[in-house]
Amino acid sequence: MTNHRVFLVALCCLLMSATAHTQIAWTLTNASLNIDGNPCNTASSNGWVSGGFSVGKISSGSSGSISASWNLGDGKRAFGLSETSSNGDWRKIDYAFFLSNRNLNIYENGSLEAALGSPKVGDLYTVELTGGNVVYKVNGTIVHTSPNPPGSVDLHAEFALFRVDDCFELDGVLDPPPVYPYAQLLRKVDAGFVRTHDQILRVAYPEDYGQEANTRLYYKILDNLQQVVASVSEAGAPSPGSSPAPVIIHGENHLDMDLSSLALEVGALYTLVTYNRKNERRYLKFVYEQDMPN
């Protein structure tokens, strides 16, 4: 089966503090999420071709971890921390616990670092980056320590599953996701600009006049030559290739404008021009970025 990689948000109880949880964003290979939000192997046959690599990371100088338990009936699996994705091949995970019915081992890039016998039902296994080192814990007790080499500046959570239909429940502590503010539209164009994040332009649009139900935002996007590259008419009809216009209401609207369907040039400067019901214009200059910075 050809690897099918999808970007999914996994509700895997990513622990951010003693009481707070957030979402984990995974890039999955031959895997999908079950009703509980846990990733499951969807490959056509058993083998090391199913896994996941977290979009979130543990930045250099910070601390974080990934944890899992062993349950009766679990198939062979591995999890840990990596700088780059292994696409489901546990031998390429930088720092990993390998679990099977008979083996509880620590591997680093496929090399055996420690053999710890067999996993026990209910025990909690953790791979943690802290103080510049990677430590492996069983029920909170350190059982092995490795220095984090200079090349592994940022580490991501990763897992691999061998058996078809096997699922994995994982908990982790990663950096909190970045928060991108909504940009204010201006009455006059100035030299300032904002950047899109993951092809999304976040705009705070003040509509000062009463709106009818389901009124759409009327706008144009201009390139640096002031040519229109996308637009939505006053009736709410988008030009070819343009995104559907967001619905607006009376008051301040926080809009996430998805620009992924537009043929915009990455790194290029554009100007968003919006119009209210009195045809008053407001402006926002932005640089189009295709991917969200880590």
What's this model's pTM, rounded to 2 decimal places? 0.59
pLDDT grade for 278, boundaries at 50, 70 and 90: confident
AA identity, residue 92: K
Say what the pLDDT of residue 152 is. Answer: 56
Say what the pLDDT of residue 164 is. Answer: 95
Residues 241 and 217 reside in one and the same domain: yes
Residues 150 and 191 reside in one and the same domain: no
Find the mean pLDDT for residues 35-48: 91
Q: Which CATH number belongs to the domain containing residue 191 in this structure? A: 2.60.40
pLDDT above 90 covers what percent of the chain?
41
Residues 146 and 212 reside in one and the same domain: no
Look at residues 154, 173, 192 and tell me which one is the last residue of a structural domain: 173
Token representation of residue 127: 């791979």
Residues 112 and 38 reside in one and the same domain: yes
Say what the pLDDT of residue 291 is. Answer: 63
Token representation of residue 146: 């490795």
Residues 247 and 280 reside in one and the same domain: yes
Residues 187 and 87 reside in one and the same domain: no
The sign of the torsion formed by the CA atoms of 53, 54, 59, 64 equals negative
pLDDT grade for 12, boundaries at 50, 70 and 90: very low
Residues 10 and 71 reside in one and the same domain: yes
Find the mean pLDDT for residues 15-23: 35
Any bridge partners for residue 255, and if so which? Answer: 203
Number of domains in the chain: 2
**Would you give the DSSP letter of residue 237?**
P
On whether residue 293 sits in a domain, the answer given is: no
Look at residues 139, 173, 207 and tell me which one is the last residue of a structural domain: 173
More confident position, 28 or 59? 28
Domain of 271, in residue numbers? 183-287
On whether residue 294 sits in a domain, the answer given is: no
More confident position, 92 or 216? 92
Residues 129 and 258 reside in one and the same domain: no
The sign of the torsion formed by the CA atoms of 129, 90, 151, 175 equals negative
pLDDT grade for 91, boundaries at 50, 70 and 90: very high
Q: Which CATH number belongs to the domain containing residue 52 in this structure? A: 2.60.120.920
On whether residue 115 sits in a domain, the answer given is: yes
Residues 274 and 129 reside in one and the same domain: no
181-231 pLDDT tens trace: 889 889 998 889 999 987 889 888 887 765 555 566 788 999 999 999 888
Residues 117 and 238 reside in one and the same domain: no
Look at residues 127, 154, 173 and tell me which one is the last residue of a structural domain: 173
238-264 pLDDT tens trace: 666 666 566 666 666 788 888 887 888
Say what the pLDDT of residue 62 is. Answer: 83
On whether residue 178 sits in a domain, the answer given is: no
Q: Above 90 in pLDDT, residue 163?
A: yes
Say what the pLDDT of residue 259 is. Answer: 85
Residues 166 and 211 reside in one and the same domain: no
Q: Above 70 in pLDDT, residue 4?
A: no
Any bridge partners for residue 138, and if so which? Answer: 125, 141
Q: Lowest mean pLDDT: which of 82-91, 239-248, 264-273?
A: 239-248
Residues 249 and 148 reside in one and the same domain: no
Beta strands in 118-217 (DSSP E): 124-130, 133-138, 141-147, 156-161, 171-173, 183-184, 194-195, 200-207
Say what the pLDDT of residue 59 is. Answer: 84
Query: What b-and-e string marks burial along 9-32, b requiring 16 or more CB atoms within 10 Å of the CB?
Result: ebebbbbeeeeeebebbbbbbbbe
- SS3 of the chain: the string is CCCCEEEEEEEEEEECCCCCEEEEEEEEECEEECCCCCEEECCCCCCCCEEEEECCCECCCCCEEEEEEECCCCCCEEEEEECCCCCCCHHHCCEEEEECCCCEEEEECCEEEEECCCCCECCEEEEEEECCEEEEEECCEEEEEEECCCCCCCEEEEEEECCCCCECCCEEECCCCCCCCCEECECCCCCCCEECECCEEEEEEEECCCCCCCCECEEEEECCCCCEEEEECCCCCECCCCCCCCECCCEEEEEEEECCCCCCCCCCEEEEEEECCCCCEEEEEEECCCCCCC
Query: Residue 42: which of 164, 168, 167 has the closest Cα?
Result: 164
AA identity, residue 251: G
